[in-house]
Amino acid sequence: MESLYIEPTEFTPKIFFDIENSAFEISGFSRPENVIGFYKPILKWLEDYNDNVLSKNTDFEKSILTLNLKMTYFNSASSKFLLDVMLEFMKFMSKGNKIEVNWYYEEGDDEILESGEEISDMLGYNFNFISYIP
């Protein structure tokens, strides 16, 4: 299975799911015209990753997976799919993998910070909230 890389556009975020380093990144601006068409293949890739990579790891030492979310904007339709992506990671955790979620937000961008806090609360999972200066 290969890593997943999707180049960002004016309307879609950068996606880089790096299998070799167990690092997963979604960053940028998300308001795709066809939100289902954009996010469905990403969710399918995560399911395949679970089936073809994580499920084959029978070692007692499971992977530590890092999900870095560095969104500058996302619309409500995208937020539903971002939640779906994170639910896939929660499935990975239920199989014994450790998950670290880093939610980056521009210093002073309370809206993105609050969105991350809401998603963290919905999942019942603590995120690392990291502010940065653009």
CATH at residue 70: 3.30.750
Using one digit for the tens of pLDDT, what is the confidence trace for 67-105?
999 999 999 999 999 999 999 999 988 888 899 999 999
Look at the chain and report how many structural domains it folds into: 1
The closest of 41, 98, 87 to 65, measured between CA atoms, is: 98
- Look-up of token digits 């560095």: 70
What pLDDT does 55 receive? Answer: 78
Residue 117 phi/psi, 5-degree rounding, is -65, -40
What pLDDT does 62 receive? Answer: 63
How confident is the model over 14-40, as a mean pLDDT?
A: 96
Do the beta carbons of residue 109 and residue 75 sit within 8 Å? Answer: no
**What is the rounded CA–CA span in Å between residue 68 and residue 101?**
6
Do the beta carbons of residue 97 and residue 65 sit within 8 Å? Answer: yes
What pLDDT does 35 receive? Answer: 97
Q: What percent of the chain has pLDDT over 90?
A: 83
What pLDDT does 75 receive? Answer: 96
Q: How many other C-beta atoms lie within 10 A of the C-beta of residue 114?
A: 11
What pLDDT does 67 receive? Answer: 97
Domain extent, residue 92, equals: 4-132
